[in-house]
Amino acid sequence: MPDRRDLDRLNTAQDKAVELAIADLKKIMARLSGATPEQTRDALLQAMPALVSKWGDVAATAAAAWYDQLRAEHPELPPYKAHHATGIDADAVRTTTRRLAGGLWDSDRDQVTAALAGNVGMWLKNRGRETVAKAVDEDPAHPGWARVPRGGTTCAWCTMLASRGFAYKEKATAAASSHRACDCQIVPNFGKDAAKIDGYDPEALYKQYSKARANVVARNGDGHTPTDREITDELRRMSAAQRDSRNREYIEDENAREFFDALDDLDRTAPRRALAARDAYTGSAYGTMNRLLRDNVGSEYDRENVRNLRSLFTTNPSRLDRNRILFRGLSLQDVPEVDSIFNDEGFVSTSLSAKVAEDFVANSEGRHQVIMRIRARTGTVFVPGLDSERELILTPGTRFRVRSRTERPDGIIEMEVEAL
């Protein structure tokens, strides 16, 4: 029966295919370094389907070989050999490539490359997952299968699906093609007993699922039949409560008195030019000021505003009086991995209010809508911004470490980070 080492072997093979595919993508972008945005887009429209097909075949071959190796441990089974899942949808690859290539006209080649790389990873891993699912469905042995999360933290939707363990007998291909951005694997089980995979505890997941279902029924009455959406929403609420209990030293309070005290102090003591720069940033100059910091592109007016606003962090700094949870909504082309460290070279707008972040992502466009929950420690320096948004502006270049990330049923990614 499969164990964690077997699953790690598949994940490693998939990761290697993704790594090599992204290396090819970077070579293509390097060769196009002197091309116009239009020339680069057209070249990518030609190259991307071939690249994804080539390395998708590698991922699918590795997945088929992995399936056959697991099956070979049970010689009593009827003959069968796994085959590749259907090839990539070249039109879908071109459509996504054309959309992402629009960033080339904003002189944002690195972000375009990163966005394409993220999609390459998704396409290749889906090809491997779909190959295993196809084998499960075609295999005359009719193995049971499970949806096994890759890491210790997974989203509410996958928690619900993974809670069934190896009880699945229906078509696996439908499961492989749903919720396609996840990192779960379809894992077959050919033995009589359920496989034991380190880090995958379907009984614990089922307890979470059952509790969430019971909570929904309790709120709506005994005659209520919970929907999957209601259950996953409740799982997300339970996860947030558990997370908050783990981080109880961080206070979540959107009406923190210290914010208004800091705002009053700043308005009373800061130089007028610095306050004007703060007001420009919280008004219409937000984008151009941060573009100057990130890309060194901007007017002299932007440079003066950046200089004056930056001065407030040293001449009139406000500091958190306790550990707090801050919120930030943003749109990302590529979402940082768990345990990775990333930073924003611009001023970092955060809020004491979760609703501000929710409202931001609800009105944003982009590949990934992300809500950051930021653990900010006592003494963190900030400049108070818009009082209506409980805005705390953090210093340019603030670094964050990703502690966890989950995808909600509505597609929004919640990312818990620590301000370093």
Maximum mean pLDDT: which of 14-28, 93-107, 117-131, 151-165: 14-28
For residue 356, the model assigns a pLDDT of 87
Average per-residue pLDDT in the chain? 84
CATH number belonging to the domain at 257-419, selected among 3.90.176.10, 2.30.40.10, 3.30.499.10, 3.40.50.300:
3.90.176.10
CA distance 296 to 342: 19
* pLDDT tens digits along 346-404: 999 999 988 889 888 877 666 688 999 999 999 999 999 988 788 999 999 999 999 99
* pLDDT tens digits along 193-239: 766 776 677 787 888 888 888 998 998 888 888 887 788 778 767 76
pLDDT > 70? residue 87: yes
Q: Where are the domains of the chain?
A: 4-200, 203-245, 257-419
pLDDT > 50? residue 172: yes
Q: How many other CB atoms are there within 10 angstroms of residue 417's CB atom?
A: 23
- For residues 114-124, average pLDDT: 84
Written as one string, the DSSP assignment of 26-59 is HHHHHHTTTS-HHHHHHHHHHHHHHHHHHHHHHH
Q: How many other CB atoms are there within 10 angstroms of residue 211's CB atom?
A: 13
Radius of gyration of the chain from its Cα atoms, rounded to whole angstroms? 25
> For the chain, give me the number of helices (H) and strands (E)?
13, 11
CA distance 115 to 110: 9
User: Distances in Å between the alpha carbon of 215 and those of 76, 212, 219, 244, 298?
Assistant: 45, 5, 6, 19, 53
CA distance 195 to 220: 37
- For residues 21-49, average pLDDT: 94
- For residues 34-51, average pLDDT: 95
Percent of the chain with pLDDT over 70: 86
* H helix runs in 323-392, sequence order: 354-362
For residue 183, the model assigns a pLDDT of 64
* pLDDT tens digits along 286-345: 888 998 898 888 788 888 999 999 999 999 899 998 899 999 998 887 888 888 999 889
Contact between 275 and 349 (Cβ < 8 Å):
no
pLDDT > 60? residue 181: no
For residue 258, the model assigns a pLDDT of 78
Q: How many other CB atoms are there within 10 angstroms of residue 311's CB atom?
A: 16
Q: What count of residues does the chain have? A: 420
For residue 362, the model assigns a pLDDT of 78
For residue 180, the model assigns a pLDDT of 45
Contact between 95 and 119 (Cβ < 8 Å):
no
For residue 176, the model assigns a pLDDT of 56
- For residues 47-56, average pLDDT: 96
For residue 203, the model assigns a pLDDT of 80
188, containing H or E segment: strand 185-189
